[in-house]
Structure 1
Amino acid sequence: MHPVLRLNANSERRLKGGHLWVYSNEVDTNASPLKNYEPGMQVVVEAANGKALGTAVMSPEQLICARLISRNPKQFLDASLMVHRLKVALSTRDLWYPHQCYRWVYGDSDGLPGVVIDRFGDVVVVQISSVAMEQRIDDLLDAINKVAKPRVIVLKNDGKLRETEGLEEYIRIVQGELEDDCAPLIENDTRFMAPVIHGQKTGWFYDHRDNRARLNTLVKDKRVLDVFSYVGGWGVQAANHGASEVHCVDASAQALDWVEQNAALNGVAEKMVCWEGDAFAALKQLRDNGEKFDVVVVDPPAFIPRRKDIKAGELAYKRINQLAMRLLNRDGIIMSASCSMHLGETRLPDMLRELGRELDRDVLIQYTGSQGADHPVVPAIPETRYLKAVSARVLPTR
C-alpha cells in the first residue's frame, strides 16, 4: 500500500491540464504533512475530493515536491516500466535521427523524471538528478542494457541539480571502456569526439542539431566566427560544409584543443583559427584588429539561470549580440542563441531589432528555431521548451 499525497481544493487543475509537477504549496499539509514523506518515495496523488490523479515520486523538501509517473493510480515506477519507457523514447528518436546519436531520454518529457540519457552509438551517458532515480539506478542500468545493449555506459552524475537534491557528485564508467575518455558521434554529416568524461554536461549538446543544420546551408565560401565554441559544434560543422575560414572563441584552452581535434577528424584543420579568452574581451579585440565576418554564431551559456537574473541576463545577451553584430560585414548573418529557460520567446528577436536600430542596420529575421525532436516538449510545461535560436540577415539601413 502506497501513501497518499492529498492536494488542496482546485490544485488538481494543472495536472488535469497536462502538467506533471506538484508544487509544495498545492499540497494539503494538514492531510499530507510533507515531513511524513521521504525523498524518492512513491505516492498516489489525490485531489481534495479523494479522487486519484495518478502516481508520483517525492522530493518533499523541494518546491516541486512530486513528479508524476503515471496517471494510472495503480502504475508505479519499477524495472518493467523503465524498460517500456526507454523503448518508447528510443523508437521516436530513431525515426528522426540517423547514426544512433541523440538525446535518448529527456526527463519528464519521456516519463523518467530526473534522468537524462545521451546516446553516442554504442556509448550511453546517463545523468541522474533525483533521489528517486538514484535509488533505482541498478534497475535503470539493467533496463538500458535490455533495450540498447550498449558497449559503454557512463554515469555523469555531477552538476548543481544533484547538489539541490542532496546527492553526491561522481563520474563513473560502469560498463566497458572509452577511447581517450571520449565518445564518437556524427551530426549533420560531421564527425566529432565528444569529451563525455571531462567536458560540459554529457559532453555534447544535441539540442542545437537542427539549428546547426540550417546554418550549414548558408556558410559556403563564408568567413565564420563561432563564439562560445566549446568543442566546435557550430564551427567545425561550418568548416565541413564549405566555409572558407572559421574562427572559434572559447575561454577554455581544453575546449579549443578539442575543436582542433574535431576539425582534423573532418580534414578541415587548415580552415580553423582558435582564440582563447573571455568572449566579450575577445570580440572587442577582434573589432580593434579590424576583423570582419560573413557569419557570426553567438551561443553562450545560460545568462539567466534563475528568474531573479532576468534583468542582468538580458543585458548580457544584448551586449554580446551587439559586439557580434559590429563584426559583421555589410551583408552578414548572425545566428543568436539562448539556452536560458527564463528568457522570453520574443526577447531575442526584440534584442536584434533594437540593436539594428542602435547600429543603424536593417535586421531581417529569416529563421527561428528551438530544440530538436530528441528534446520533446510537454505542452503544459513551458520549462521543457528552453532553447531559442534566431538567424537574421544584417544589412546596411535602407
Structure 2
Amino acid sequence: MTDVVLKRDKEKAVFQRHPWVFSGAIERVKGKPTNGDIVRLLNHKGEFMAYGFYNDQSRVALRLLEWNEETEVNEAWFRAKVATAVNARADILNEQTNTCRLIFSEADYLPGLIVDKYADHLAVQILTSGIEKMMPVIMDELRQLLNPLSIFDKSDASSRQHEGLETDNTVLWGDEPPSSVEVKENGIIYSINIAEGQKSGFYCDQRDNRRILAAHTKGKKVLDCFSYTGGFTLNALHNGAASVTSVDSSALAIETLKQNISLNKFDAEKHTAIQSDVNKQLRAFKEAGDKFDVIVLDPPKYAPSRSALDRAARAYKDLNRIGMSLLNSGGLLATFSCSGAMDMEQFKQVLAWAALDAGKQVQFIYQFCQPECHPVRASFPEGEYLKGLLCRVW
C-alpha cells in the first residue's frame, strides 16, 4: 500500500478524525498510486495516522476512511459500512414513509456516496474516484440488503469533475426505473421521476420541515416558492390551507406537482401553479399588491463555497426582503439555505438585514434542520448544510 506523508504540524485535523486532507498538507507520496486507491497516511515522523482514498486531481487529496491501523479496509469493511448505514434508517421507513436517504457520504463513513430509497428503487450519486472503484461491492451489498427493482446512477454532480470523473446517468442494476415512481412521505403520495428529476429525484432532506410547517397553514393563504414537485404545497393542502400558490421555473416540476395533487385527491381549486423565475414572480406579486399569510422560500444553493458567501448573502437578503414585504402583518416566513458555507448565525444576520431594508419587525420562532437520515458526524461539521428559520413578520 502506498504511503502518503503529511507535512509537519498538519496532524491536528486528522487526529480529530476529520475525513479530509487537502493537497497542500501533503509533504510527499511514496510511490505512484492511481486515483481512487486506498493509501496509508503517515505523519512527518513516519507514524501511521489513517487509511484513505487518494486523488491527485482533487483539492481534497485524501478522504479518510479508517484510523485503526489493525483494521483492514477491504471488501468486508465496505459491506459493513453500507449495512450499518441502511440499518440505522430502519425506524424511518414504515407504512407512511417509504423514501429516505440511506447513505449520506462522509456522515456514514463512505465519502462520496449518496444513496436514496424511492419505494423499491434506489438512486445513487458517486462523487469520488474511490467510491467509484468500490461500486461493484457496494451494489452487491445493497442488492442483498434491499432487493431493489433498480439501482440508478444519478452521478451528474459537478463535483465529479474535481475528481477527474465523467458525469453519468444510467442504470446500474435492474430495469430502467419508470418515469413515475410513487412514494409516500408522512402519508402523502409523490410521483418521482428518478432519471430526469433534480438531484437524485426528490428532496427528502425537508421531510420533517414540511410536516412541521404544515401545522401552521390551516385556513391560511400560502405561497410556496421554489416549490419543485410540491413538498411544502402538498403538506399545506393536506393540513387544510385555504389556498396555495406554487412557483417554480421548471415545467417538469410544475407538471409533476399537479400530478401529485391529483394523486392525493386534494382540491385542485385551492391550488395555483406558476411556472416562472421566483424573483421575477415575487416582484410581480408586489406590484399587484398581493399578500399571503405563509410564505416558503427554499432556493437552490447560493453559496457552493466560502468564496461565494458575499454574493450569496446579497442574494439571500434580496429574496427574503421581498418575501417579507408580501406577508400580511403577523404572517409567517419559512426561509431556508442549503449552502453549507453559510452557518445559522450568518443566515440570521442576513435575515436581520433583510428585515431592516423591508421596514419589518421579525421574530425567529423555530429553527429548521436536516432530518435524521442526513446525520451530521461530530468530526465533520461540514455535513450540516440545511438550515432554516420560521419567522413571524410584522
Aligned residue pairs total 391
Q: Distance in 1 between matches of 2:70 and 2:120?
A: 35
Correspondence for 1:138 among 136, 139, 155? 136
The Cα shift of 1:265 comes to: 1.1
Distance 1:51 1:45 in 2: 8
Which deviations, in whole Å up to 9, do the C-alpha atoms of 1:340-384 show, x marking residues without a partner? 111132122222223333333221111012211111112232211
Match of 2:261 in 1: 263
Q: 2:34 aligns with which of 26, 34, 38?
A: 38
Please give the per-residue CA displacement for 1:128-180, whole angstroms capped at 9, x wherever unaligned: 01111212221121111112111221111212012222222221123334664
Q: Mapping of 1:291-370 within 5 angstroms?
A: 291-370=290-369
1:18 is displaced (CA, Å) by 2.4
1:273 pairs with 2:251: no
Matched, 1:384 2:383: yes
Kept in 1, the 8 Å contact 2:6–2:43? The answer is: yes
Distance, in Å, in 1 between the alignment partners of 2:145 and 2:45 is 40
1:112 counterpart residue number: 110
Distance 1:372 1:264 in 2: 27
Give the counterpart of 2:181 among 177, 183, 189. Answer: 183
Query: What letter is aligned with 1:176?
Result: G
Give the equivalent residue in structure 2 for 1:235. Answer: 233
Counterparts in 2 of 1:291 and 1:76: CA distance versus 1, 3 Å: farther
* Residues 265 and 360 of structure 1: CA distance in aligned 2, closer, same or farther (over 3 Å): same
Does structure 1 conserve the Cα–Cα contact (< 8 Å) formed by 2:2 and 2:32?
no
In structure 2, the partner of 1:126 is 124
Question: What is the identity, as a one-letter code, of the residue corresponding to 1:272?
Answer: H
Show the counterpart of 1:67. 63
- Kindly state the Cα deviation for residue 239 of structure 1 after the two structures are TM-superposed: 1.1
Residue 226 of structure 1 deviates from its aligned partner by 0.6
Alignment of 1:76-225 (within 5 A): 76-98=72-94, 99-177=97-175, 180-225=178-223
Counterpart amino acid of residue 90 in structure 1? V
Task: Report how far residue 52 of structure 1 moved.
Answer: 1.2
Local SS of the residue matching 2:27: coil
CA distance in 2, matches of 1:185, 1:348: 32
Q: Does 1:394 align with 2:390?
A: no
Residue 5 of structure 2 is matched in structure 1 by 6
* 78 and 183 in structure 1: CA distance in 2 versus 1, 3 angstrom threshold: farther
CA distance in 1, matches of 2:88, 2:177: 29
CA contact (8 A) 1:249 1:277 kept: yes
Q: Give 5+ residue unaligned stretches, structure 1.
A: none
Q: Distance in 1 between matches of 2:180 and 2:50?
A: 40
State TM-score, norm by structure 2.
0.95
The one-letter amino acid of 2:319's match is I
* Contact 1:55–1:74 (8 Å) recurs in 2: no
Amino acid at match of 1:265: L
Write out the 4+ residue segments of structure 1 that deviate beyond 6 Å after TM superposition.
Answer: none
Query: Quick one: distance in 2 between partners of 1:105 and 1:78?
Result: 19
Report the residue type matching 1:285 in the other structure. A
Structure 2 segments unaligned to the other structure (5+ residues): none
- Cα deviation, 1:80-119, whole Å, max 9, x if unaligned, reads 2222112111222123453342110011111111110001
RMSD: 1.7
1:28 aligns with 2:27: yes
SS at match of 1:36: coil
Instruction: Percent identity, please.
Output: 29
Does the 8 A contact of 2:150 with 2:177 survive in 1? no
